[in-house]
Homo-oligomer: A and B are copies of this chain.
Amino acid sequence: MNLSFFSINGIPMVKPGDDLVNLINDGLIGMNEAFQNEDVLVIAQKIISKAENRYVDLTEVVPGERAKRIALDVDKDPRKVQVILDESNEVVRARSGVLIVEHRLGFVQANAGIDQSNITNDDGEDEDLCLLLPMDADASAKRIRYIINQRFGVNVGVIINDSMGRAWRMGTLGLAIGVSGFTALESYIGERDIFGKELAVTQVAAADEIAAGASLVMGQTTEKTPVVIVRGYHPLEPKQESMRGIGPLIRPKEMDLFR
């Protein structure tokens, strides 16, 4: 297999209401490129959230008693803790400097994926501005895929990624939080190895593997390359409805030995 990962240059700072597909296409045109059938677009969560106006101004947040109590434990702004709780199903770990929750979309993630880097508003007063994850990252991926198909007549896979910490390893890793037209979890259950023995590894987190590689290509700081195209893969929407989207990558709580 031969995959190429390339970042799209020239994508401007994204503002609420922006048409991301147009911005991405303009970037491609500037590189003498175009969407192709079977391209996989990996898009940073941050620009999806910006386009969807998922900003929260902390000056408008009044923290409740629970948020205030947790804020003391973890040494964070109680208003930010309130926003995190509002975005979460439950708190998984709260320690000084660390607040790990189950996001309402199901991911276990620090601070519910809420972000304060590389964001601003028009008047420049950005200290109190937070950016939440997309309301429904699968739906965002699906919409972008649909628009590309309608406008350009090509079928692509779309993955929305975000950087996450891990339980046992240092550093963040880019992982998928939304997916459309791509099989997030590849199953080899019942398949056999080279010698005909049943495979031990039966499920591969394909969307996470491609999201991680693309994250390296995006960079993390001031690269301004929030979209990566992966070419050479054959993305496939799963036939079974239950295997579509990001759901199959989320470990059910009752199967999770670490919370």
Query: Which residues of A are interface residues toward B (Cβ below 8 A)?
Result: 1-7, 13, 93, 95, 98, 100, 107-108, 115-120, 126, 163, 166-175, 184-186, 188, 191-195, 197, 199-201, 203-206, 208-210, 212-217, 219-225, 233, 248-251, 256-259
Contact = CB atoms under 8 A, between A and B. Distances in A.
B4 A4 contact: yes
A117 B208 contact: no
B171 A193 contact: no
Which 8 pairs, one residue from A and one from B, show the smallest C-beta to C-beta distance? A213-B213, A171-B205, A212-B212, A108-B168, A167-B258, A209-B216, A2-B6, A171-B203
Contacts of A225: 1
Given A173-B209, A210-B213, A219-B1, A195 B126 contact: yes
Contact of A212 (B203, B213, B221, B257): B213
Given A120-B195, A169-B205, A169-B208, 7 more contacts: A3-B213, A93-B257, A119-B195, A166-B167, A167-B256, A171-B205, A173-B205
